[in-house]
Amino acid sequence: MSVTETAGAKDLTGELQDALINRVGRDRFRMWFGQITQCHRVGRDVVVDVAAQFALDRIGSRYMIDLRQAVVDVCGEGVSVSLQLAPDKPAQPVEADDAQADSQTESAATLRSDEPSETATPAAAAPSRRRSRGEAPRDNVQPLLQVSSFQSASSDDPVPPRRRRVASWDQIVVGKSNKLAATAARMICDTPGSASPLFLWGTHGTGKTQLMDVVATELRRRHRLRRVISMTAEEFTNDFIGSVTGSGLPGFRRRYRDVDALLIDEVQFLPGKRATSREMLYTIDSIVRAGKQLVFAADRPPMEIPGLGQDLAGRMAGGMVCSLSPLDHEMRTQMLQQLCDAEDLGIDHQMLADIAGNVCGDGRVVSGIACRLKALVSMHDEPVTYDQITEILSDLISIGSSSYGFADIQTAVCNTMGLPKDALQSKGQSRNVSQARMLAMYLAREHTGATYGDIGKYFGQRSHSAVIAATRRIAGDVQDGKTFAIGNRSIPAKQVLESVQNMLRSG
């Protein structure tokens, strides 16, 4: 094999490793795919060398669909996949071979996106050690299994695409609530590093993780960037702790600083981890200096995450900060119609619009509704009716029910406005607390049917007339387009109200 072919095989191996990690997870990758030694092209065929027979058999029987889809992600459709036992190399002195194995292990750790190096299974390294000590070479190495990348081994039907991760802009619904964030994401997909870091924030179910998945996919496919790491802050923390106690920090730092792009979700879980936060700060500095792309996501802006630290929050806010609001009626309708049309359910769009108008703004709930509708359609040979749909979705479209209590409303308001849970029952009179308390009173009156007196008693021993004034004030603020103070920002009252209702309905 020439030098050019060897370099191409290394690139293909690294890209396929990244694609497999995204599909099967770090643990399964390390256990079964960690013994893949090399991948190379032979015409329209991708040949995958596996170090051990047992791992080859396991991949062939359990993970060929994942392997084929990973090849499609990297090479496109129409490429077949072959597995074969890796040919043995000539025996070398133990010392030289061990040094080479250490170098390969370190390189694999760098390619591995986010896997803690200390979790590598001893079995994965055992075959190469045995071969280095002069084990007899295997004879008659032939491809064990060859299956088209887009066809099942046991059927002529196409393999259905995995739907765990969004891989295309066609699956993203863009509207008023996420237009700025989607535009910024497209911008960095077109020109990586043009807005780094990009920080996406919003309550759960607003599409932050979906946008990050699309960005990661686009960077790999369009720009052929091999070292694109997408993970959560918890995974980053676990890998850091494992490196400190096990493999050492140099390997960890090479893994995360020598990247093409780093995407970290759920940043709000970093506070309280001083050493991890400090390492994250240095990692950000290194990647920004290299002109590479950083993307973060959290449930609130970086400067308002308690305990994050001014230095780290400032660096995360140093690029572009974009908010995502709960999905409005139009976006929920478009998303539900898109999901149902993709499954060819044949449900009238007006019925879907009515359903979307009676559910919360959480995108995950809308996706769950589409799954239920698919099951409902499969149960009946004739078109489903609106009554059948509302019956199967009764627990999700019970708008205005009395299932919410004072405590539920208090928790939702405090989480949305970034206040301590007991703030609404205190005597505090600051603008943030007063507005939050009035909003909670308004929602309590709307959703619980409790008397003004009971509401006032719960929220800080307020009088009957104070609750009446609060409900009228909130209704007027929403109608007049006034704003609420949340941290250092002013957010439209209607948007805050929708965020709280979204949190209530989605539990």
**Measured distance CA(16)–CA(75) in Å, rounded:** 9
pLDDT of residue 422: 82
Q: How many angstroms separate the first and last alpha carbons of the chain? A: 58
CATH superfamily of 3-148: DnaA, N-terminal domain (3.30.300.180)
- Beta-strand ranges (E) seen in 381-442 are none
CA-CA-CA-CA dihedral for 392, 387, 498, 444, to nearest 10 = -90
**So what's the pLDDT on residue 280?**
94
pLDDT recorded at residue 291: 93
Q: What is the pLDDT of residue 321?
A: 93
Q: Write out the chain's pLDDT in tens, 507 residues.
A: 544 445 456 667 878 888 888 777 777 787 778 778 888 888 888 888 888 888 888 888 888 888 888 888 888 777 888 888 887 654 444 333 334 434 443 433 333 333 333 333 444 444 444 444 444 344 343 333 333 333 333 333 333 333 345 467 888 889 888 999 999 999 999 999 989 999 999 888 888 999 999 999 999 988 988 899 999 999 999 999 988 887 688 888 988 999 999 999 999 999 888 999 999 999 999 999 999 999 999 988 898 888 888 899 999 999 999 988 888 888 888 899 989 988 888 888 888 888 887 776 578 888 888 999 999 988 887 888 888 888 888 777 654 344 578 888 888 888 888 888 788 888 777 878 888 899 999 988 887 768 888 898 888 888 888 899 989 999 898 888 888 877 667 788 888 887 787 777 655
Per-residue pLDDT at 289: 93
Residue 246 CB contacts under 8 Å (≥ 6 apart), including other chains: 116, 117, 118
How crowded is the C-beta side of 313, counted as CA atoms within 13 Å? 15
Rounded CA separation 357/367 (Å): 15
Instruction: Report pTM.
Output: 0.56
Q: Regarding the domain with residue range 169-323, which homologous superfamily does it belong to in the CATH classification?
A: P-loop containing nucleotide triphosphate hydrolases (3.40.50.300)
Residue 265, phi then psi, degrees to nearest 5: -100, 160
What pLDDT shows up at residue 430? 80
Amino acid at 260: D
Cβ-in-10-Å burial (0-12, 13-18, 19+) of 450 comes to middle
Q: What are 91's two structure tokens? A: 């025996």
pLDDT at position 260 is: 93
Same fold, 3-148 and 406-505: no
- Contact between residue 65 and residue 29 where contact means Cβ atoms under 8 Å apart: no
- Cα separation, 62 vs 56, in Å, equals 10
Q: Give the start-to-end residue ranges of the domains of the chain.
A: 3-148, 169-323, 329-392, 406-505
The pLDDT, as a whole number, for residue 126 is: 42
Could you give the dihedral angle defined by the CA atoms of residues 234, 238, 239 and 242, in that order, rounded to the nearest 10 degrees? 170
Sheet holding 36-42, edge to edge: 36-42, 45-50, 80-85, 145-148
Q: How many helices (H) and strands (E) does the chain have?
A: 21, 11
Q: Tell me the CB-side half-sphere exposure of residue 466, using CA atoms within 13 A.
A: 17
Place of tokens 């759960």: 204
Second-level CATH architecture of 406-505 = Orthogonal Bundle (1.10)
Please give the backbone phi and psi of residue 491, each rounded to the nearest 5 degrees, phi first. -115, 135
Beta bridge partners of 417: none
